[in-house]
Amino acid sequence: MTTAVPTIEDFRAVLLRKREELRELEYFASVCDNALHQATKAVRSVELQREIASALGEPPPFENDEQFEKAKSHASVIAKFAEAEKSAGLPYLFGLCAVRLWALMEALVDEIVVEAMRQPERCKDQAALSRLKGPLVEFRAASPDEQAEFLAETLKQSVDALLKPGIGRFEAILDPVGLGGSVDESVRKTLFELSQVRNVLVHKAGKADRRLVDGCTWLALERGAIVRVSGKMFARYLLAAYWYLIEIRGRIDERFGGKRPAQTIHAHELLLGDLAKLVKGEELAVVNSDDKRIAGDPEREVSHDEKSASS
């Protein structure tokens, strides 16, 4: 059974797919932001439907006053939820987006490593690959795609990638295949924060645990506090994700004997500049488990001194 040798274009195709998925995530956030804004006017929208139909001589949108009042009541519930979300900075929306963003990061690295495993003899750490174990008969009977996926998954397990913090889990499997490298400290810190925030959103009902509190001290969280992901936080996470995506692009070029394009270096500089600006103006809306705010009004910027005092 022959395996097609992966080309640089195969690796770039993975990056382009993830770029498109990141773009779709941005679209989703924008559409939902706009929809929540419109939802705050839900009651007025119901009333206007009735008034416009009457003015144009159309059949009434509601059969009777009882249906009209029920529609207004339902619209009121939607409007109150939307207004509360808007006032808090849309934490439900940006929490969902943060979870999705980390999933895209994981998929990016997994797919890149699978691509590299289509030609394992080109991987840098042959010693690590030689230690991989699995069912030989099943492996030989598998298709080339399945073999590459098996090797990638087995490598992830052998280096305990899932036990490493932040992007350490990514670097642990990228390095053996010749795609490891250095990561800007601000990007590493931001993506570490994303991973920890994602974990409490998915596994801790959004309540800060010891790992998040101790690992991300700059957030000035208390254990048990409810974490609300703000738009500024998600913007930081997205910038860091794009930086890492471009970093992997540069590593791929180098793996195939080329140089990093000047555009990637310039993009890195721009992304780091924007990330630094967001960090300076960062705010975090946090509430205690008894629903009392401890980080101030989410609409007001929390000063560095306030954050330090609550650490």
Residue-by-residue pLDDT tens, the chain, 311 positions: 455 788 999 999 999 999 999 999 999 999 999 999 999 999 999 999 999 999 999 998 998 999 999 999 999 999 999 999 999 999 999 999 999 999 999 999 999 999 998 888 777 777 777 788 878 767 777 788 888 888 888 898 888 888 889 999 999 999 999 999 999 999 999 999 999 999 999 999 999 999 999 999 999 999 999 999 999 999 999 999 999 999 999 999 999 989 998 999 999 999 999 999 998 875 434 444 444 333 333 333 333 333 433 33
Spans of all domains in the chain: 8-34+90-309, 40-88
**Coil, strand or helix: which one is 290?**
coil
User: pLDDT at position 287, please?
Assistant: 44
Buried b (16+ CB within 10 A) or exposed e, 263-296: eeeebbeebbebbeebeeebbbbbbeeeeeeebb
User: pLDDT at position 3, please?
Assistant: 59
H or E stretch covering 228? strand 226-228
Sequence letter at residue 246? I
Sequence letter at residue 107? A
Measured CA angle at 282 (ends 277, 286), to 5 deg: 170
What's the predicted TM-score (pTM) here? 0.83
User: pLDDT at position 10, please?
Assistant: 93
